[in-house]
Amino acid sequence: MSLYSFGLEPLSCHAWNKDKTQIAISPNNNVVTIYEKKGKEWSKIHELTEHSGRITGIDWAPESNRIVTCASDRNAYVWTLKDGMWKPTLVLVRINRAATCVKWSPLENKFALGSGARIISVCYFEEENDWWLSKHIKKAIRSTVLSLDWHPNNILLAAGSADLHCRVFSAYIKDIEDKPGPTAWGAKMPFGEVLLEHKDCGGWVHSVSFSPSGDQLAWVAHNSSITVADAAQGKEVTQLTTNYLPLLSVLYVNPTEIVAAGHDCCPYQFTYKGPGALEFVKKLDIPKQTSKGSMSAMQHFRNLDKRATEEDSNELPTLHQNSITQLCVVSGERAKVEKYSSVGLDGAMVIWEFKVQHVTLLYTKITVFSRVLKDSWQVMLWLPSSFLPLPAITHISYPAISVCKNSATNHQTQTLFI
């Protein structure tokens, strides 16, 4: 993993280009800054300054190399690189409240924009008039749209909002795409059709993410919960309420593993293997090494005297020193993410490596001998490889029970006397 600080200003959102050599970030103002990696450093190469309000969303289309931005000024722009300069094109989003989030579709022929107007604008390019138009999804939305994510089929769109609802809509636009086939979420898909509506998410839905297959949808809410809806299992919903501060961003990194992060300043890994089987796996951050071991005795007692503390540090034991606002894929396919990035309110960007630990099961033979029956039998017991090999000739005594373990290269032979 690697950490880079872009300054003291909080980073509200970010996006990568196709080869991940450039990153577009917004330091919580009306400017989008593009940095290019040169060696180990990031150098500023462009500034996008068309917006007059705070930037709330950035997305970079990898194939067409177009950037879409939205802001609290109620506008959205599509940026195209021409002659080494980024040229903006205003999008007719037709909203009267601030835009809150924006996302390109997988085929990059349209994008979705959420807003405080209780509207999702699905925008597409009309070649005849050479402009970007929008169609509105209004049905059932009762508050600000906070998060969006596209289904891999380029048709379905998930949305989380401040009315404590998570929904899946059809964003099919017949003018630019063929009629879609049926999915696990439903077969009837006219524009704006609601295919899922989960009514009580427990809080604002800060982030949503489809699985690589599109059959599952994960979201995180302000009540510190993470939830998965499984279309392959009758749209059954499984919720896990954590003991952590609220999560702000969620990302599927493979068909079963989910990474989420938020106000705890570090990412967490969860796994989903079916209805009712959503579990916390581990914290993915590496705690920072403290300077306690190298602190001099004089400094130690000076801190006790002046600050009533043993260490002269106010740093959190995490790489990020403030809330993580967004997670993005850096490398790997959607079904097998190898690296992902996070930005936070501390002005830092961290690139994380994701590795799944596979548990190898080996077996042990247990021979059970009964003194009463004068007979014995063998039982096969499978154990994780971390348990094997067991120490040779180890005896463990219990009341009326004696266990003898003999180690081997690939299995264990144990004798149990009762």
Do 89 and 164 sit in the same domain of this protein? yes
Residue pLDDT, tens place only, 385-417:
444 444 333 333 333 333 333 333 344 444 443
Q: Are residues 293 and 375 in the same domain?
A: no
Q: Yes or no: say if 226 and 242 are a contact pair by the CB < 8 Å rule.
A: yes
Read off the tokens for 73: 């000024």
**Ramachandran category for residue 146: left, alpha or beta (phi over 0 → left; psi -120 to 50 → alpha):** alpha
| Contact of 31 with 48, CB cutoff 8 Å | yes
Same domain, 366 and 298: no
What's the confidence (pLDDT) of residue 307? Answer: 58
| Pair (325, 384) in one structural domain | no
Query: What does the block give as tokens for 195?
Result: 């295919």
Q: Are residues 93 and 241 in the same domain?
A: yes
- In whole angstroms, give the CA distance from residue 46 to residue 67: 13
Return d(Cα 6, Cα 244) in angstroms, integer: 27
Place of tokens 């017991």: 381
* CATH code of the domain containing 181: 2.130.10.10
- Same structural domain for residues 244 and 212? yes
pLDDT digits (tens, 9 = 90+) for 122-148: 999 998 888 999 999 998 899 999 999
**Alpha-helix runs per DSSP H in 238-340:** 297-306
Q: What is the span of the domain harbouring residue 394? A: 361-417
Tell me, what's the pLDDT at 23? 98
Q: Do residue 257 and residue 182 come from a single domain?
A: yes
- Answering whether pTM is above 0.75, one says yes
Q: State the pLDDT at residue 311.
A: 55
Asked whether residue 128 falls in the same domain as residue 257, the answer is yes
Could you check whether the bond before residue 275 is cis, i.e. omega within 30 degrees of 0?
no
Determine contact, residues 27/6, Cβ cutoff 8 Å: yes
Sheet containing 145-150: which strands, arranged edge to edge?
Answer: 145-150, 156-161, 166-170, 194-198
Contact 330, 16 (CB under 8 A): yes
Is the domain of 65 the same as that of 135? yes
Residue 225 pLDDT: 97
Scan for tokens 């597409």, then name that residue: 124
Structural domains counted in the chain? 2
User: What is the C-alpha separation between 256 and 14, in angstroms, rounded?
Assistant: 25
Chosen domain end from 353, 369, 390: 353
* Same domain membership, residue 388 and residue 322: no
Q: What is the pLDDT along the chain (418 residues), one digit of tens a residue?
A: 789 999 999 999 999 999 999 999 999 999 999 999 998 899 999 999 999 999 999 999 999 999 999 999 999 999 999 999 999 999 999 999 999 999 999 999 999 999 999 999 999 999 888 899 999 999 889 999 999 999 999 999 999 999 999 999 999 999 899 999 999 999 999 999 999 999 989 999 999 999 999 999 999 999 999 999 999 999 999 999 999 999 999 999 999 999 999 999 999 999 999 999 999 999 998 765 543 444 556 666 666 665 555 555 678 889 999 999 999 999 998 899 999 999 999 999 999 999 876 444 444 444 444 444 445 545 444 444 444 444 333 333 333 333 333 333 344 444 443 3
Q: Are residues 300 and 326 in the same domain?
A: yes
Among 324, 353, 382, give the residue marking a domain's end.
353
Residues 153 and 181 in one domain: yes
Which of 307, 330, 353 terminates a domain? The answer is: 353
